[in-house]
Structure 1
Amino acid sequence: MNVRAAETINSWVEKVTENKIKNLIHSQVLDEFTRVILVNALYFKGAWIEKFHLTNTKKTKFYKSRNEVVKVDAMANRPSQNFSICISKELKAKLLQLPIHGDASMLQNLYSSLQLGVHRIFSDDDADLSGIAGEKGDLLVNEILQKTFIDVSEEGVEAAAATDLKIPIPYCGRKHRPQKFIADHPFIFYLKVKDMIIFAGRVTEPYY
């Protein structure tokens, strides 16, 4: 029964994410204590409104830490009215918004005090999943499984995930004079569609 349930879940996730996310859950994760399995998957593919020219992609330094530096392929483009750069004093961060066709955009955050995480649903004392079943304390989460895929290229963005995440972005004023935005150290990024954040992640280990 557990094997069949895992196969059903994995097949659905694979279909929804255009074969980008495979084997999300293993049958051994399901046992006699399992009551509910919540599965959420998304797939997004969009093209930049202003594409990056492949000839501008160059090897550049990425500072994983103060003492660890690697060379990565970095896309580049000249300042444009399509790009929004703003500075948040509250978060001590610099943000870049890159528009995508279809009322979407990608935001990059260098670096902020934002923290990604959920804790209460794992606690016997604090977990309240009565909206699903039972009373407060009857159910709690003991494990979260997540697989993600994102490909950012000169043409656009392709992303898939087996979870959903919504995080508000604080308001910050747009700067009118051209500014440089150089993503040469760890940063947080978001994919936003119609003011809803559908994908969030953190880049600390760039592909090189």
Structure 2
Amino acid sequence: MKIIMCIFGLAALAMAGETDLQKILRESNDQFTAQMFSEVVKANPGQNVVLSAFSVLPPLGQLALASVGESHDELLRALALPNDNVTKDVFADLNRGVRAVKGVDLKMASKIYVAKGLELNDDFAAVSRDVFGSEVQNVDFVKNVEAAGAINKWVEDQTNNRIKNLVDPDALDETTRSVLVNAIYFKGSWKDKFVKERTMDRDFHVSKDKTIKVPTMIGKKDVRYADVPELDAKMIEMSYEGDQASMIIILPNQVDGITALEQKLKDPKALSRAEERLYNTEVEIYLPKFKIETTTDLKEVLSNMNIKKLFTPGAARLENLLKTKESLYVDAAIQKAFIEVNEEGAEAAAANVIRVVKKKFRVIPPVLKFYVDRPFFFNLKANDQSLFNGICLQP
């Protein structure tokens, strides 16, 4: 019988201190994000991409706790978590961390839809409630249009109407037993906003042979900056109000350097090593406004990340999920992600559907200039956790 997992994400940036649990989560998230970023970019050649690997973690954590045997072990390996107790502690801390972020609108919510007449396994119900904060609701999946409508309405409410029509009614039928949903939403204002009147059309080099004009925000700001030789790039980090959230922009030194950068970012530690080079300075920034929406087939992406048994009938072993003797498996998984960056700040959203079924006197140097006039990588962070990332090939 089918299970559906839905995950939704909208991100803002935030940074804070780090506990042992936060370190475990960061390492898990860094590894998972690097892998998923690589696979999503590969699946969308020549296209702008935004994804929220962070928003995939909670539903996968839930399904790991709902499974047994090899499928359970496969999920924990993918999440880089050692056992169920650490998994529970990490995700409980994740939810507390999201609630503690100040200065931005950042929230996360989870919900599990269960087929009419069925119940969650008692232990799993307690874990879902106490660890993941999941609501539970019974729905009649046979009435697929009504069920999809209810799920999609919940998603829209959690993502400020940024993610719509996540679940196709045709994906629900009499064999659907459960839909797992996780929503994360972020909206943040720049600590130092761009002045709209200074925005003007400037050249953006899509490639060596193609240049277009795009609305470009211009401002002299105190940010964190670094040259990163190992990435053949330079980068900035701009904070949002509250100083607990930020956006990183990595700009390849070459117009056609984005593909090489993508390859280097496959290393889960590449981004954190680059961040260690950042220092505070004044930079004149030229940054295009951009808006990106991406729909990703998570079933294909996760399968390429060696999460296979979850999607295989008879091998998923989701025996701790529902009070049923039926053999359950994840039938489909989809993520819809959205991000918009403008003079005020950023708003981002992502949704996944998985069907189960960081003063001396010195000579002041010239102001650095950071021209984002070619394809670039971006990363939105909260509590030092990457929430959203992607590439912009053409604003």
TM-score range, shorter chain: 0.7 to 0.9
2:280 counterpart residue number: none
Compared CA separation, residues 158 and 88, structure 1 to 2 (3 A): same
1:85 counterpart residue number: 225
Q: Deviations over 1:87-141 (max 9, x none)?
A: 22333332211100121111112242325964235535998966xx249xx8765
Compared CA separation, residues 157 and 4, structure 1 to 2 (3 A): same
Q: Deviations over 1:163-191 (max 9, x none)?
A: 4xxxxxxx9xxxx9643221111112121
2:374 counterpart residue number: 185
Q: Kindly report which structure 2 residues correspond to 1:69-84, keeping only aligned pairs within 5 A, or say none.
A: 69-78=211-220, 80-81=221-222, 83-84=223-224
CA distance in 1, matches of 2:333, 2:392: 21
2:51 counterpart residue number: none
1:114 partnered with 2:265 = yes
CA distance in 2, matches of 1:89, 1:34: 51
Contact kept? 1:120, 1:126, Cα under 8 Å: no
Q: Deviations over 1:141-168 (max 9, x none)?
A: 56432222222121211222214xxxxx
Q: Which protein is richer in helix relative to its size? A: 2
- Aligned match for 2:334, one of 136, 145, 152: 145
Q: How many residues align?
A: 189
- Aligned match for 2:197, one of 41, 45, 55: 55
Stretches of structure 1 lacking an aligned partner (at least 5 in a row): 164-170
Shift of 1:49: 0.8
CA distance in 2, matches of 1:194, 1:6: 33
Aligned Cα root-mean-square deviation (Å): 3.1
CA distance in 2, matches of 1:126, 1:19: 29
- Aligned match for 2:153, one of 3, 6, 11: 11
Q: Kindly report which structure 2 residues correspond to 1:126-145, keeping only aligned pairs within 5 A, or say none.
A: 133-134=318-319, 143-145=332-334
2:83 counterpart residue number: none
CA distance in 1, matches of 2:158, 2:335: 15
Compared CA separation, residues 66 and 194, structure 1 to 2 (3 A): same
Of the two, which has the highest radius of gyration? 2
2:237 counterpart residue number: 97
Shift of 1:41: 2.0
Shift of 1:3: 2.5
Contact kept? 1:47, 1:101, Cα under 8 Å: yes
Compared CA separation, residues 32 and 179, structure 1 to 2 (3 A): farther
CA distance in 2, matches of 1:29, 1:93: 43
Contact kept? 2:376, 2:392, Cα under 8 Å: yes
- Aligned match for 1:25, one of 167, 171, 174: 167
Q: Which protein is richer in strand relative to its size? A: 2
CA distance in 2, matches of 1:98, 1:129: 42
Normalising by structure 1, report the TM-score.
0.76
Q: Deviations over 1:7-58 (max 9, x none)?
A: 2220111000111211111011235665553322222111111111122211
Range that drifts further, 176-185 or 88-97? 176-185
2:308 counterpart residue number: 123
* SS of residue in 2 equivalent to 1:146: strand
Shift of 1:64: 1.6
